Every structure is written in structure tokens, then in C-alpha cells.
A and B are shown apart, each in its own frame.
Chain A
Amino acid sequence: MNQSIEARERRAADEQAESLHFVSRGAIRILCAIADSMFPPDHVAEAQRRAPLSWRSDDERDPLPPAVLPAPRHDHVARYFDNWLAENSWPVRTFIRLFWLIFELSPLFFVFRLRRFSSLDPDGRIDYLNAWGDHWFYWCRMASTLLKSQVAMAYFADPVVRSKFRVPPSPLAGREFLKWRGRDE
């Protein structure tokens, strides 16, 4: 399980790195690993679902089937971050890259594991991400929130995700939006 995810991330990093300008192979692996920890492929999600927090909306009171959240497409995530970095000034880009590097190299200080973040197994990654998110030091929590928001932005910008998740494709405006909602007379 772990290997299949890691292999997928590695492949994506190799394939994408050639055509991208601002994110490196290493950065792609980190970002894809975070995306996989937010929206894991179904079989991984199943294993990570902890009893007290497991809800499925196939509850009979809910007339809608549960919304489908597919696994992140790594090529999309990589391209999204490449474009995003391109829009920032070089000092901001340098700062962001430095932060990714620190994040990648710090599992030892947060979960006592002598490995890089992207080579941890899926459960190890979750422990590490939780350690940042629940840390006593405010700036670690902030960094975790920022990472989450950036990766969420990349994930939900993917047209495949949007259509499976039943949210309007993006970008979409005006009458197109109404048509999508079925409100256009």
C-alpha cells in the first residue's frame, strides 16, 4: 500500500519535473504526499478511518449518495504549484521552498522518525502532519493550516475532482454557472 502510493508520487515527480519551471522533483513529492494524506485513495482511507470519527453519509436520512472525493492527480497538483510559484516574487518563492525543505526534513523532531516526510508510510505521514497541526507552538499550527489550504486549493482546482464532487467546474461564470445548476430557464 505504502509502496504503491510512494511509487505513484515518485513517478509523478519524475514525469513532471521536466516540464515544470519552479517546483523541483523533491517539492512535487512533498506536495503530492500532503495531497495523498488529505484525500487518500479509497483503500488507504479505509485503513485510516478511525472508529469514533467514521461517518458515511449513506445514512437513510440523507437522500444524496456520499460525495466522491477521488485521489489527487499528482500531475495536476504539480502543475498547480508550478503556476502558483511563478506568480510570486523570488524572495517569496525562496521562502516557500525553504519551508518545504524544513517540513520534509523534520520528522525526527516531531515524531522521532529518522526519515524524510515523503518517505514515511501513510500512517507515519498522518502522525507527522497531526504533530504540526496540534503543536503547542503557534507557528507550526499556522504552517500546517497554510499547507492544508494550499493543497486544498490545488486539489479542488482539478476539473476531475470538481465533477466527481458535484461542485461546478472552474472557471465558470455567468449563464454557464446557471446551466450547471439547472437554474437557467
Chain B
Amino acid sequence: MRHTLDRDLTADLKTSAEFVVIGSGAGGGVVAQVLAAAGRDVILLEAGPWYEGSDYSNDFWDSMKQLYWDKGLRAMRGRSMIPTMQARCVGGTTTVNSSICFRLPDYVYREWHDPFGLTEYTAEQLEPSFDRTGAFTNIHPTDRELLGRFDLLFESGFAKLGYGSKPIQRNVRGCNGCGLCNQGCPFDAHMGTDRTYVPSAVEHGCRLYANSPVERVLVRGDQVHGVSGTVRDATSGKPKHRFAITAKVVILAGGSMANPVIWKNSGLPDPHGVVGRHLTNHPGIGITSVFPGCTDIGISVPQGFESSDLRSERMMFETLGMPPEVAAVRMPGWGGTYKDLMSRYHNMAMWGVMVRARGEGYVAKGLGSSPKIVYHLHDDDLRLMARALRLITEVAFEAGAEYVIPGVRGVPKVLRTLKEADALLSHPLHPRDMMMIGNHPLGTMRMGDDPSISVVDANAEAHLVKNLHVMDGSIFPTNLGVNPMWSIMAFADYNANKLLTRY
């Protein structure tokens, strides 16, 4: 574990800084670096520890406990339980994600112009920030030699149906394709903010306190005054000291799930009830297909190939590697048949579709320290998922799959022909019929010019609390249809640079 200032504390901490940044993920890590590199006085507060490659293991459950909030067992409630994961460590979820990088599609800027008054945000305006963050984190297309055979099968299946696909752009340096990205990169090859922006911020004098969850943002009148919280032991999580930091400006970057809870705990104003509302995400669902021959599952880049051809129809397809303990949950049945299915693990390919869902939800204070997360899928989203599953099943058969395991209740557990897959379209689906995952929660503190529908303005400053800014995925007014990390970093870079002229 890397050394951070919290370890040196022998008593409660009372100090001050010009800027306090809460959270060191895609948003907070970038903001802290931009400010510190400009010579500003910055404190970065992160709830989790700062790990290095040698701290990680390939034990799935150990990694969940070590790296994720609520041991990786968070779920969104609503019409069904949808698991969703956020990391709790320096680098935030960028430390454990699959490194997939996309620029923000043009249609998203356009959608944000009128309803939210975000006219200043255009592809041209943000381009320098995308270029800077892309260069800083070494974003480039995945080398073909790191791909698994399941990526190549995906490519050939889509090509046979006339769709394009290509290696995914990833932020890595020296990746060897071990497949462990979601459990922390043991080779320090994954260029999350924990390996890029945060070390650079620290080199430029930013004071980093890890293991220091912020509990309250302090306000005087209508202006932010500082933050307070508890420093915890890195391994046991037990409280060690209290901290209270006064600051001229506070930047909230705890992610879409944490920000509303910090806001509510701090008793900050919310007259229109918008804080925590409008939670969006990209619900994901996958199929497992079994091919003759080894597919390299679990031993190559976990997500190396994508097809964006149907993005305009709100669907995005990506390959998906996973360890056997996760594949085991997706296999239907029990007994000898189940064991037979699992014995084909090395021949499996998992491919996922991520839909740009219309559904919305909210995040509120929950029992204990976990947030209450509610999310409702729209019926259109279900129809889209059924269509996407049918299409990806077709891709699998085109690529030579022996059979496909759709993991959808009400359709055959194992599909041996494409005709059987038509059941996906004829059967009325319910969210509870599928094993989904809630990817990329966004939008709980959304940005806009109207305080009755948004929390922060176009400068990412809270409408109702001066000098309190929010700079992470929670400000995006809608979901994006692509993986959001690069956009979050670019928006953080853009807005942090505005802070330099403003303060």
C-alpha cells in the first residue's frame, strides 16, 4: 500500500487549504492534478486506501472486499435487483475498470443544449480536454496480440452480418493481457487516475489523505466553508482521528452514488428535490456462447473489442471476459448437466450489450453507510434488450457457436439454433427475467441552467451553495451511450481549468 499523509497523523487534523477535492476517481483525480500543477494549495480526500500492483490478487472475493464499496454487493432496487459496483480506493473506479475509452458522441452534446442550457459544451470546445486527458493516460487502440480468441470470434460474427467492429481504445501502458483489470491491475499497467493524475498531483504538492471519508460539507451562510470527516485505519476500517478542513473552494467528486448522500448528510439546501434524482446508467446484459476450441477467456484483455454500429439505436456491444466463479452464476440448472456446461468454460465467449436506457432512478440516504439506490427500467429498454440479445445470439451462431446460453427466463436455457432465439422477441420480458448489471451510474447531481431541474450550473458550481463545485460523472444530465470515464476526465479537466481563472 502506498504511503499517504493520513498514516502520519497522531491526533485529530485541523487544517486549511485553498481547494479541497473529495474523491480521487475519474473526476476528482483530474481536478486535483490540474489545480496542483498550477501551483494551487490543494487537499485531496479519498475514502479508500492507495494500493499498488503488488497489493492485488486474482482471488475474486478478496478483490471485491478490498476494492469495492459494500464488498461489491451493491444493487439498485426497483422492478428488479440490478447489481452495480463502485470502487473505494485512490483512483476510484478508474482503478478497477476495464480501461475502455470513448469520446463523448456528438449527439449527446446536442441533447444537452436546449433542455439543460449547456450551450458552451460542444465537441470543439472540449476537444483540447479530451486530447490532454487522452495523452496523459495513454489512450490507444488495444494491440491485436493482447486480444483473446473470443474477441476475434466477435469480430468475425459481426462482420458476417455486415456490421463493423474494432479493438477498443484503452488507457493502459505495458498491458500484458492478464485479464484481471476489474480486480486491480497487478502490473501497474492500467492508467487509472491512481497511476497518472494522483501521483502527478502529489508531486506538485497536493496533500493526499487516503482512508479519509468526508462526512459533511460545511457551509456558512450560502457559501462553502470546508469539510469534516473521519480518518480510518487502512486495513481494519476502524476510526482513528477526526478531521476538519477549512477551504475557500470545495470540489465534490465522490461519484454518482456518494455525492447525494454527502449532500444530504451535510444538510445542504435542496428546495426542488433534485439532489440524487435522475439517476441514469447503461444497463448491461450478456450472453454466453460455447465454441469448439479454446477461447482464451479469463486469460486475455477482459474487454478488447467493440461494435458501435448500432449506437444510434441505443445499443453498444462489447466483449467480456470473466473468471469461472462469475461464469458459474450464469450457467443454468444444477447437477450433471450444470457440471457439463461449466466444464466448457475454456470454450466460452461472453459478449455483452450495454443499452442507453431511458429508465431513471434516484439515490438517497440508506440504512447505515450504504446509499439507497432505486432504478426503474423503461419498457422500451426491455424491448431494446430483447432485440440486442437476439442480435448477439445471431452473431454468435454466425461466428460458429455450438450453442448459446441466453440467461433469460422464459426462453430455452440453451439455444442450439437461431430459430430458438426468436423466443427472445416473442416473449414479453420483465426486468426480473434477466441477469443485468447497472453499468456507469450517472446524473444524480446534474448540470443545467435551471435550478429546478439541476443541482449545478454550467461551471459545475452548485446553484445554491457558492464555491461548492461538483466534478464527476454525477453532473451528466443524461447517460451517454458509451463508457463514460474519458468524458468524465475531460469534463473535469475543462471545468478545473475554469476554476484557475475564477479563483
Contacts and interface: CB of A to CB of B under 8 A. Distances in A.
Co-assembled chains A and B: yes
Interface of A: 37-40, 44-50, 53-57, 59, 61-64, 66-69, 84, 87, 122-123, 125-126, 129-130, 133-134, 138, 141-142, 145, 148-149, 152-153, 155-157, 165-168, 170-174, 177-178, 181, 183
Interface string B302-333: 00000000000000000000011100110011
A170 B329 contact: no
Nearest to A123: B335
Contacts of A57: 343-344, 347
A37 B325 CA distance: 16
Given A39-B339, A55-B402, A173-B56, A64 B346 contact: yes
A149 B409 contact: no
20 contacts: A38-B335, A38-B339, A38-B342, A54-B337, A55-B290, A57-B344, A59-B292, A64-B294, A64-B346, A123-B335, A126-B335, A133-B334, A141-B409, A149-B329, A156-B60, A156-B325, A165-B324, A166-B346, A167-B324, A168-B299
B435 interface: yes
Contacts of A178: 176, 178
Nearest to A89: B368
Nearest to A80: B61
B382 interface: no
B340 A152 contact: no
A45 B339 contact: yes
Interface in B278-302: 290, 292-294, 298-299
A63 B294 contact: yes
Given A133-B333, A156-B323, A167-B323, 6 more contacts: A38-B342, A40-B335, A61-B292, A69-B343, A126-B334, A142-B81
Complex A-B, nearest 6 residue pairs according to Cβ-Cβ distance, in ascending order:
A171-B57, A48-B336, A61-B292, A152-B328, A45-B336, A173-B186
Interface in B59-115: 59-62, 65, 80-81
B180 interface: yes
A16 B402 CA distance: 42
Given A54-B340, A57-B343, A153 B334 contact: no
A19 B4 CA distance: 39
A123 to B, nearest CB: 8
A53 B414 contact: yes
A139 to B, nearest CB: 9
B53 interface: yes
A38 B328 CA distance: 9
A45 to B, nearest CB: 4
A181 B340 contact: no
Interface residues of B, number: 50
B19 interface: no
Given A45-B335, A57-B347, A178-B176, A157 B59 contact: yes
A166 B347 CA distance: 12
Contacts of A53: 333, 337, 340-341, 414
Contact of B324 (A44, A45, A54, A156): A156
Contacts of B294: 62-64
B58 interface: yes
B351 interface: no
A172 B345 CA distance: 20
Given A67-B343, A181-B178, A44 B59 contact: no
A64 B334 contact: no
A145 B331 CA distance: 10
Contacts, number: 152
B293 A64 contact: yes
B187 interface: yes
Given A62-B293, A69-B342, A156-B328, A172 B337 contact: no
B178 A177 contact: yes
Contacts of A157: 59, 61, 325
A167 B178 CA distance: 12
Contacts of A37: 334-335
Contacts of A84: 61
Nearest to A68: B343
Contacts of A39: 339, 342
A42 to B, nearest CB: 9
Contacts of A134: 409
Residue of B60, B336, B338, B339 ringed by the most chain A CB atoms within 10 A: B336
B57 A170 contact: yes
A145 B60 CA distance: 17
B54 interface: yes
Given A61-B292, A61-B293, A49 B343 contact: no
A50 B346 CA distance: 22
A172 B344 contact: no
Contacts of A55: 290, 340-341, 344, 402-403
Q: Which interface residue of A55, A130, A173 has the most chain B CB atoms within 10 A?
A: A173
Contacts of B414: 53
Contacts of B333: 53, 130, 133
Contacts of A138: 80, 432
Contacts of B346: 64, 67, 166
A114 to B, nearest CB: 21
The residue in B80, B292, B340 that gathers the most chain A C-beta atoms within 10 A of its C-beta is B340
Nearest to B290: A55
Given A142-B81, A165-B345, A171 B337 contact: no
B71 to A, nearest CB: 8
Given A39-B339, A63-B293, A148 B54 contact: no
Contacts of A63: 293-294
A50 B339 CA distance: 12
A87 B190 CA distance: 29
B325 A62 contact: no
A78 to B, nearest CB: 16
Contacts of B298: 167
